[in-house]
Amino acid sequence: MPNLVDLADLPPIRLFDGVVARRVEGERVTLAIVELEPNGVVPPHQHRYEQNGMVIQGQMRFTVDGEERTLGPGGTWRILADVPHAAVAGPEGAVVIDVCSPIRDDWNDLPVIERLPYWPRS
Amino acid sequence: MPNLVDLADLPPIRLFDGVVARRVEGERVTLAIVELEPNGVVPPHQHRYEQNGMVIQGQMRFTVDGEERTLGPGGTWRILADVPHAAVAGPEGAVVIDVCSPIRDDWNDLPVIERLPYWPRS
């Protein structure tokens, strides 16, 4: 399995309605590139994975454990394990990084869809 | 400590000559946003941290365990623990994501410098 791969060659999986991820993972950490449609919603939830992340493109309204902010490119989050969080993409959608440890074994059975990446567009 | 922070408010640390990082970390994973000056060099090395990443801006010539490729935006790497790797930025430099687990406790004593982020520039 190659270690140097273009985003466009990673299979997209559907996390929520209007929320799709591609991922690179080894044994300890999942690096996910997540695309949210305009106004796409990540409903409130929590899980055993620590999850840190950053907006690459677009805007996200993020809530972590009662703290709430609108984040643009370069806006970051830190979500320790078992901390409740939720997010809503802005009117133009968003492309974000989410990194999780342990690896997201709960994503292994999610449906793979066919779609080109929103970002980067050359 | 807030969980929602802008990249520009994270302290930059010097990893190598011409290679600077800002980071978000909890207990299990370090999400680093790394800026490399034009032709900036990450010399060959290896470590106990798994390290996955992606180019956001610019180009990187990457070598992982003998595999070698030039990566642009969206180009990814997966480096399992203790696997040798090296990289050189392209002539315009690069901004990349590096995510490591366990967290990079070896960075705690690196010098903090003063600099605005290369990316994003509004």
Quick check: is B95 in a domain? yes
C-alpha span between A55 and A62 (Å, rounded): 11
Residue B61 lies in domain: 28-107
Cβ pairs bridging A and B (under 8 Å): 146
Quick check: is A62 in a domain? yes
Closest CA to A61 of A81, A82, A30, A91: A91
Quick check: is B112 in a domain? no
Interior/surface letters B14-44, b for 16+ CB within 10 angstroms, e for the rest: ebeebbbbbbbbbebbbbbbbbbeeebbbee
Question: With an 8 Å Cβ cutoff, are A5 and B100 in contact?
Answer: no
In this structure, the strands spanning A67-71 and A50-64 are antiparallel
Question: With an 8 Å Cβ cutoff, are A29 and B100 in contact?
Answer: yes
C-alpha span between B57 and B95 (Å, rounded): 5
- Considering Cα of B19, then B24, then B30, then B31, what sign does the dihedral take? negative
CATH number at residue B43: 2.60.120.10
C-alpha span between B5 and A10 (Å, rounded): 29
Quick check: is B11 in a domain? no
Using CB atoms, which residue from B3, B29, B64 is nearest to A99?
B29
Closest CA–CA distance from residue B52 to any residue of chain A (Å)? 7
Quick check: is A53 in a domain? yes
Question: With an 8 Å Cβ cutoff, are B119 and A75 in contact?
Answer: no
Quick check: is A120 in a domain? no
pLDDT at B122 over 70: no
Contact criterion met (CB below 8 Å) for A57 and A33: no
* ipTM passes above 0.90: yes
Amino acid at A118: Y
Quick check: is A8 in a domain? no
Q: How confident is the model over A2-61, as pLDDT tens digits?
A: 999 999 999 999 999 999 999 999 999 999 999 999 999 999 999 999 999 999 999 999
Using CB atoms, which residue from B4, B56, B117 is nearest to A69?
B4
A-interface mutation test, from B52, B85, B121, most A Cβ less than 10 A away: B52
Question: With an 8 Å Cβ cutoff, are A76 and B5 in contact?
Answer: yes
Count structural domains, chain B.
1
Using CB atoms, which residue from B6, B26, B68 is nearest to A78?
B26
Contact criterion met (CB below 8 Å) for A115 and A18: no
In the predicted model, what is the mean pLDDT of chain B?
A: 96
pLDDT at A122 over 70: no
Closest CA–CA distance from residue A23 to any residue of chain B (Å)? 9
C-alpha span between A25 and A28 (Å, rounded): 7
Closest CA–CA distance from residue B16 to any residue of chain A (Å)? 22
Closest CA to A9 of A121, A120, A116, A122: A116
Which pLDDT score, from 0 to 100, does residue A121 have? 78
Question: With an 8 Å Cβ cutoff, are B81 and A27 in contact?
Answer: yes
First CA to last CA distance, chain B: 26
Quick check: is B75 in a domain? yes
Question: With an 8 Å Cβ cutoff, are B24 and A78 in contact?
Answer: yes
Copy the structure tokens of residue A53. 């992340």
Q: How confident is the model over A51-82, as pLDDT tens digits?
A: 999 999 999 999 999 999 999 999 999 999 99
